[in-house]
Amino acid sequence: MNLIRNLAGLMIILSLLPIGMMAFRYTADIPFVYDEISDELALVQLREILLIAYDMHFQDHVLSFHYKNRDFTLSKVNDKLILQPGTQIFLADIDEMHFENRNGVIYVSYERQGKRNERVIASSEGFYIDLFSDCDVSDDLADRFEE
């Protein structure tokens, strides 16, 4: 009885082997584009920075803003989208890049190997904590001795 079960299991495994080989051959031919994935991850990090940045001004190829008490610029240098001062690379191997403002949203539009990509990176109005204040007077100073 054990021999019959073992032979039946072996027959089932041998019949599934061609299907498994076809599945491996099919998945091996799928092209994986890692540039798009790394671009999205880098742009998510850039959005986090720009979310709390102040005084954003942009021209066609340069975005400047104030972040953590310093002035930063985001621009294309040597086929890379770089945040300066320092060198933080967000997009690499890009042929052309520019910023656009549409409906209060800043887009980065870039081209790599003939393929054009366009992603939202920030709101042009910016995020100001004063917009969320409940105080009617913006220059009101807190007095700790006041009751």
Q: pLDDT tens per residue, the chain (147 residues)?
A: 788 899 999 999 999 999 999 998 988 888 887 888 888 999 999 999 888 888 888 888 899 988 888 899 999 889 899 998 888 899 888 999 999 888 888 899 999 888 899 999 888 776 555 555 555 555 555 554 544
Per-residue pLDDT, 126: 60
Query: Pairing state of beta strands 115-123 and 96-102?
Result: unpaired
Question: Residue 141's Cα: distance from chain center in Å?
Answer: 40
Instruction: Compute φ and ψ for 132, nearest 5 degrees.
Output: -105, 10
The type of residue at 84 is: Q
pTM summary value = 0.65
Residue whose token pair is 């005084």: 55
Instruction: State whether residue 34 is helix, strand or coil.
Output: helix
